[in-house]
Structure 1
Amino acid sequence: MKEETHPDYRKVVVMDTSSGYKFLTGSTMESTETIEWEDGHTYPLVKVEVSSDTHPFYTGKQKFSDRGGRVEKFNEKFNMKTEKE
């Protein structure tokens, strides 16, 4: 096997920003943020918008979270009129 062909995997904590769900896994992702995990060690924190906790494929149902009025912001930005107007 060739030397230096495989990436360096290390433990990181992945946090779903939609639900706050966190899990510890091995990854090559870089992060400047860290978090203290349940085992007392400090690991890099990687934030994601969708994980197995919120993705409909894994949950079997759609979970909605307040996204700060994204649709309204889009409509306002592009001067879109709603059916109410």
Structure 2
Amino acid sequence: MRKKIHPKNYRPVVFKDINNEKILICRSTVETKDSIQINGLDYPLYKMEVSSFSHPFFTGEKRFLGKTGPAERFKKKYEKYNNINKKK
């Protein structure tokens, strides 16, 4: 193996899902600003918006976000022109 290519700050880091407060501890080199104490030990803390604990693909729940796709937006935008042509 090649020497001097591995990062120096490879350490245990707490990844916290801010949607449901679940945590995962694994080794990482991610830069963090916060820290957290778990079982009397201080760990660097990285806050995530989405993880496998909260993503609909992994949880199996279906969510409607209220966003429409490009086809629906196009139809809504130009339906007034379609109604004018029908009146003639």
CA RMSD of aligned residues (A): 2.0
Q: TM-score normalised to the size of structure 2?
A: 0.63
How far residue 17 of structure 1 moved from its aligned partner, in angstroms, is 1.1
- Note the residue ranges of structure 2 that are not aligned, 5 or more in a row: 68-88
Task: Please say if 1:14 is aligned against 2:21.
Answer: no
Aligned to 2:40: 40
Which structure is larger by alpha-carbon Rg, 1 or 2? 2
Distance across 1 between alignment mates of 2:54 and 2:37: 23
Letter in 1 for 2:2: K
> What is the aligned residue count?
64
How far residue 12 of structure 1 moved from its aligned partner, in angstroms, is 0.5
Task: Please say if 1:24 is aligned against 2:28.
Answer: no
Q: Secondary structure at the match of 2:14?
A: strand
- Note the residue ranges of structure 1 that are not aligned, 5 or more in a row: 65-70, 72-85
Distance across 1 between alignment mates of 2:59 and 2:29: 26
In proportion to residue count, which structure has more helix? 2
Aligned to 1:53: 53
Distance across 1 between alignment mates of 2:31 and 2:63: 28
